[in-house]
Amino acid sequence: MKKYSIILTHYNQMNYIFEAIDSILNQDYSNIELIITDDNSKDFNKEKITNYIEKNKKDNLKNYDFIINDENLGTVKTLNKALKKITGDYVQFLAADDALYNTKVFSRFVDEFGKTKDYVISAQAYMCGETLDKITNKCINSKKALKYNNKDARKEYEEMVRGCFYGAGATCYDIKIFKEIGFPNEKYKLVEDWSYWLYILKNNYHIRYCDFVAFLHRSGGISHYEKKDLPPHIIDYYKDIINIYDDIVLPEYDTFDLKTKTNIFLKYKYNVEFLQNN
């Protein structure tokens, strides 16, 4: 049976990480690898996590390991370190303050890969409040996402330049994609999903959407930060977004239709002004 790797990324989230770990240990898939990363947090406790895994793991967890950074490197570099370490055939990324939706997420992704030649599959994510049992809305417009299953990668790319419309934690990769086109660009510190998906689509690889729920996203993360007096990592996030526009989207600005151009202009303007005012 093919191995399923899950990379659990942690940064100052020890109050939530065991909920995320539970959602992994409870998966019904029979061949799982877990890599836990920590990006130089103040509160990371490897011993406590190890003891918890040893106490609660089942036979389906074949191996687990840690990557602990001595300095803060950001999400992209940390994920790339983990991607070079995994031994699985498929890989999914999960932030330590989020969780998998139910016990069948890994099995469902593997089953869907068996039906397609695509290397990337994304699914539905639920947006939650401070607690994951309070679902506020769906992250993905399923009707829109499903229609791109019948379109080529360029059409999907033309939609993706208008903004990221999949959920990072609800996406699974066949590792062949990394072998064929490389890892996410480390120029970007925190935004591995939108930048890499644009790169995938530009290289004519399709992202397939399957309409099942895979992921619970807790409010207050980097991409949904709502408080004033933004901390440095939120500033880094917006810098990444602007750089992605500058590097990838704007050089092709003239190739898009008027509606897309208008959308790009307004979103780019918003992000620049937001950063200038904070």
Q: Considering only CA atoms, give the Rg of the chain.
A: 18
pLDDT-derived band of residue 229, with 50, 70 and 90 as boundaries? low
DSSP-assigned states of every residue in 125-150 = EEEE-SSTT-EEEESS-HHHHHHGGG
% of the chain surpassing 90 pLDDT:
90
Q: What mean pLDDT comes out for the span 147-175? A: 95
In this prediction, residues 165-169 reach a mean pLDDT of 94
What tens digit of pLDDT does each residue of 113-152 get?
999 999 999 999 999 999 999 999 999 999 999 999 999 9
Helix or strand (DSSP H, E) at 58: none
The pLDDT of residue 274 is 87
Q: What are φ and ψ of residue 135, in 5° steps? A: -80, 125
Helix H, strand E, coil C: the string for 87-123 is CCCEEEEEECCCEECCCCHHHHHHHHHCCCCCCEEEE
**What pLDDT was estimated at residue 137?**
94
- At 39-87, the pLDDT tens digits run 999 999 999 999 999 999 999 999 999 999 999 999 999 999 999 999 9
Q: Considering the entire predicted model, what is its pTM?
A: 0.93
Q: Which H or E run contains 32?
A: strand 32-38
